[in-house]
Amino acid sequence: MTFHHPQKLKTIADLIGAKFIGSDDFEVLGTNEIHRVKSGEIVFVNHPKYYDKALNSAATIILIDKEVECPEGKALLISNDPFRDFNKINTHFTRISNFTEELHDVEIGEGTKIHSSAVIGNNVKIGKNTLIFPNVVIGDRTVIGDNVVIQSNTVLGGDAFYYRKLNGNFDRLISVGNVVVENNVEIGNGCTIDRGVTDSTIIGEGSVLDNQIQIGHDTVIGKRCLIASQVGVAGCCIIGDEVTLWGQVGIASGNNIESGSVLLGKTGVNRDLKKGTYIGMFAEDFKTYLKKEVKLRNLG
């Protein structure tokens, strides 16, 4: 999430009641999740296992639960609950309405047709010659390009599935990002595309999605991808251009799929994949899989 205007480190520290290490006027541009964080932004960390990852990330400001040595050129915000205070910062700078308030400020391009049963949130932008079918739900801050087709019962911009366990219950990390659907995309019936926690979930230009597909928060789908029914992509994945995902493919969070790859039906992904064709529960190279099958059959 980028602030509308740059903030100062002391301003943010005062907002959450945190101690800070760094200059009072150290510039803060926004917040972001660790997989997408950029220079000038805050990232949070609340477990020693991930201290180094956060401190050595592109983040310039680290919201952390212990005072540690501050890397050169960076700043620290010391909090007894970084998760809570990350939410506090995000919701201070982003209005959360969740369809309880009709503020709107919606931009709709020429030639676009939206069925009367569709529900549109606030600060939404929709391009030209786009077609939105019955019962589509478009959440706050969603951006949709030109010549897009969104079929019935699809939800763009639902909350991210991002929780921690707190006092025996699940505590949500509040989603202040959005969904961006680029030009010439087609999305089938009953798809769910979660908005980013702090950044954009992106469906790249010319991509086509079948029915009943789940795309997790902050995931980036490249250009001209083809995704078949019942695919599930978890949060913070990067899918390259011209990737094909056949039915019931499942991709775990934080994994990258190189451009031009093909994942055959029911393939499971738990690691980054180079360009290739894959099959199986643990994404095995397809040619290797066929050779193995031939050897197994010849054993008889």
What is the residue-level pLDDT of the chain in tens, covering all 300 positions?
Answer: 999 999 999 999 999 999 999 999 999 999 999 999 999 999 999 999 999 999 999 999 999 999 999 999 999 999 999 999 999 999 999 999 888 877 789 999 999 999 999 999 999 999 999 999 999 999 999 999 999 999 999 999 999 999 999 999 999 999 999 999 999 999 999 999 999 999 999 999 999 999 999 999 999 999 999 999 999 999 999 999 999 999 999 999 999 999 999 999 999 999 999 999 999 999 999 999 898 888 888 886
Question: Catalytic annotation on 115?
Answer: no
How far, CA to CA in Å, does 57 sit from each of 18, 71, 81, 151?
21, 11, 20, 39
Q: Where are the alpha helices (DSSP H) in 6-46?
A: 9-16
CB 235 within 8 A of CB 251: no
Distance separating alpha carbons of residues 71 and 76, to the nearest angstrom: 9
Q: Residue 196: its pLDDT value, please? A: 97
Distance separating alpha carbons of residues 278 and 283, to the nearest angstrom: 5
How far, CA to CA in Å, does 123 sit from each of 5, 131, 138, 174?
18, 19, 10, 18
- Selecting among 4, 5, 115, 217, the annotated active-site residue is 217
What value, to the nearest 5°, has the Cα angle with vertex 104 and ends 102 and 107?
Answer: 160
